[in-house]
Structures are given as C-alpha cells and as structure tokens.
Structure 1
Amino acid sequence: MQLPPLPPLGTDINALIPIAGMATGVLITAMLFLGPVGRAIGDVIRHWLGGGRRQPQALPGELDELRERLDRMQHQLSELAERQDFAERMLARVRNDRGLPSGPDVAG
C-alpha cells in the first residue's frame, strides 16, 4: 500500500487570502467602534436607555456651586498675591536697611 504524496512545504496563497480578509474586517470594525461613529452610536444607545437624561434642577445647582468655588479660589489667589507683594516689600526694606548685597538679576 502506497501513501499519498506529502503536500509541498511553504505557505499556501489560498490560506492567506481569507486570513487577510478577516484581519481587514477586524481593523475596520475596530475603527468603527472606537472612532467617532462608535461614540455616536453609543450616545444614541445611552439616550434610548435613558442614561443621557439629567434632572433639570440638578444642573443649575451644580453651576452655582462651581461659581462659588471659583469665587473662593479667586479670593484666595488675590490674598496670596497681596502676601507676596508684602513679603517682597519687607525683603526690599531689610536689604536697604542692613545693606545686604543684592542677588542676581532674575528678570534679565
């Protein structure tokens, strides 16, 4: 009994074509889901499921809270600027009174 001949070694082009087609399909699908089209589809799904809705009274309250926080931060920043100016004036006065040597000119 004689065995059939062994297939030739190497890559069969007929096997590569479907693999390349599947890889191309995976890339196109990934670009679709991860790109702007996928985000738009996700937004539509969230809207349909009710996840995109917000309570109308919640947004103005959050906005007021953010404005208050911003006002507090601006106030703190102005206080820090005043303290820095005061410290610079005091250092300049001490330098002039005691005759301390001036440092390198940082401003250029």
Structure 2
Amino acid sequence: MEGLNPFDTLVLVAFAIAGMKIFTGPIGAALGDRLRGRREHAANPALAADVELLQTRLAEVEERLDFAERLLASRERADQLLGGRVNDHP
C-alpha cells in the first residue's frame, strides 16, 4: 500500500486541527461537563421572578377554567333535569 498523497495529508491535518479547535473550545467543555454529569446554571433573579409571575398567572387561569367548566356542567345538568327547558331569562 502506498503512502498518502499530499492532498490527503493536507485534508487529514486540516481535520485534525479543526477537531482540536472544536473539542478544546467551549463546545468541548460543554460536552465534557455533560459527560461528567455536571451542569452549572447561573441564577438569574429577573428570570426567576418572571417564572414565578407566570406560574401565578397560570394558576389563576386554571381556576377560571375550572369555574367555567363547573358552570357549563351545572347548566347541562339543569337542561337534563328540566327536559331541555332552561329559563334563559334572569
């Protein structure tokens, strides 16, 4: 078998250098951290406050949805009890 021609050698060296740059940079550090199971999350107080606000608002929306479902269910029960004749007047 013959040795590598100059073009193949150049391509091999270029890939080796690119691989070293990639794996010794931030991508390599992130991959290493993931493989070791270490994850560091910087605490962001503004983001935490936004998440808390959204959780509160979501809880309020869930309560409103539950109320609307109960209201519709009670109306359907009234329809069934009255044979479909519900007084729509206040």
Q: What's the TM-score, normalizing by structure 1?
A: 0.50
Q: What's the TM-score, normalizing by structure 2?
A: 0.58
Q: 1:30 offset after TM fit, Å?
A: 1.5
Question: Is the radius of gyration larger for structure 1 or structure 2?
Answer: 1
Task: Give 1:68's aligned residue.
Answer: 49
RCO (CA 8 Å, sep 6+): is it higher in 1 or 2? 2
Q: Which consecutive aligned stretches of 4+ in structure 1 deviate over 6 angstroms post-superposition? A: none
Q: Distance in 1 between matches of 2:68 and 2:23?
A: 53
Counterpart of 1:27 (choices 11, 15, 19) is 15
Task: Say if 2:73 is the partner of 1:92.
Answer: yes
Q: 1:84 offset after TM fit, Å?
A: 1.1
Q: Distance in 1 between matches of 2:52 and 2:19?
A: 43
Q: Distance in 2 between matches of 1:24 and 1:67?
A: 47
The alignment-based identity, stated in percent, is 25
The residue correspondences of 1:1-108 to structure 2 (distance < 5 A) are 17-33=5-21, 35-37=22-24, 39=25, 63-99=44-80
